[in-house]
Amino acid sequence: MNNTLFSRSVKSIFFLAFPLMGACSWAGQMAKDSVDGVASKYGSEHFTLIAIIPPNFGFTSKAQYSPKDGESCQVYSPGLGGSVTRQQQKSNKTPAKSTEQTISTEIPLEYQIAGCSMALTRVDYEVNATYGTDAWDHDLEHAGGLAIVDNELNTVESSEQRGLCTWLFQISTAKAKKGEIEKILSCNSADENWQVPESKPARRKPGGVAERSKLPGRTIKLILRQATTERPSIDDTWQKLPEGWKPCLGRGVDDPYGFCRGNTKDFRTFKLNGRECTVYPNCN
């Protein structure tokens, strides 16, 4: 066999074997992950999160876990080609319904996997709400959350949290809905009278900070309500008149911002439910 033919044969064998080597590596990682999955468990200590949400609202709680102090929680990442610190997320998702819902979720305070002990560090709240029948008529909002700490500094005293969610309307510039009304959901923390600060810098998301040692067996309630009124998503783009809201013309119908800039006489039209309108929400 000449050298050229031998060289080609070796190369052929190598390239045939190389995918198998990758498959073995992938299979080994899958086996390791499977073992880790069998060895994983959540702790028995927990607190209960009760969320009360309005009609047409879905809710998701996302419990985040990080390694405890002093823990070595490294795991190999094939994508990164090296070791990374383990993180864990436990999600509980409830889809929207046409009626009000009360959702009860037990949130474990610890998680263990393959010799790694992790502690709950945060629970994020997400809301997915719909405002119409079109496939585009929905929005996902990060509606706050609860941070878990080991000390007592600035922790939540009340076991009840309130959030007022408001639809913010605007004229869409997206290709699929260009010129139509679209809405953005904004949820803010409310006081005992369901009032939200007028000043934007004073507003915050529902939730707060809780001390870890006081959480076992505790129940925290989150109540979300939908505001009865809507408002523009951006200030100085619509004018409030007795008959409703009118969108300012700005520098012309193709102006993507449409700021009023003191011009309270020139307005533009928009589309709502297939109709061309001049006033929102009545579509006069």
Residue type, 41: K
The pLDDT, as a whole number, for residue 19 is: 42
**pLDDT band at residue 154 under the 50/70/90 scheme:** low
Q: What is the predicted pLDDT for the residue at 134?
A: 83
The reported pLDDT for the residue numbered 1 is 47
d(CA 62, CA 83): 25
b/e sequence 71-107, b meaning 16+ C-beta within 10 Å? bebebeeeeeeeeeebebebebebebeeeebebebeb
How would residue 59 be classed by pLDDT, with cut points 50, 70 and 90?
A: very high
* CA–CA distance, 226 with 230 (Å, rounded to integer): 10
* Between 4 and 205, residue with greater pLDDT: 205
Say if residue 16's pLDDT is above 50: no
Give mean pLDDT, residues 234-255: 93
pLDDT band, residue 194 (cuts 50/70/90)? very high
Q: Where residue 176 falls among pLDDT bands split at 50, 70, 90?
A: confident
Q: What is the pLDDT of residue 33?
A: 43
Contacts of 206 (CB under 8 A, 6+ apart): 125, 143, 144, 161, 162, 163, 187, 188, 189, 190, 222, 224
Distance CA 162, CA 266 (A): 40
pLDDT of residue 155: 63
**Is pLDDT at 23 greater than 80 in this prediction?**
no
Amino acid at 115: G
**pLDDT value at residue 70:** 87
Give yes or no for a contact between 161 and 223, defined as CB atoms under 8 angstroms apart: yes
Q: Confidence class of residue 156 from pLDDT cuts 50, 70 and 90?
A: low
CA 82 to chain centroid, in Å, comes to: 29
Contact criterion met (CB below 8 Å) for 183 and 167 = yes
pLDDT at 157: 59
- Is the pLDDT reported for residue 15 higher than 60? no
CA 241 – CA 1 distance, rounded (Å): 93
User: Once rounded to an integer, what is the mean pLDDT over residues 47-70?
Assistant: 96
Task: Count CB-CB contacts under 10 A for residue 134.
Answer: 13
User: What is the residue-wise DSSP string for 224-278?
Assistant: EEE-SS-EESSTTSEEEETTEEEEB-TTSTT-SS---TT--S-B--EEETTEEES
The pTM of the full predicted model, rounded to 2 decimals, is 0.80
Can you give the pLDDT at residue 71?
Answer: 85
pLDDT at 82: 87
Distance CA 145, CA 125 (A): 5
Closest of 245, 269, 248, 244 to residue 257, by C-alpha: 248
pLDDT band at 254 (very low <50, low <70, confident <90, very high): confident
Q: 183 pLDDT band (50/70/90 cuts)?
A: very high
Does 35 score more than 90 pLDDT? Answer: no
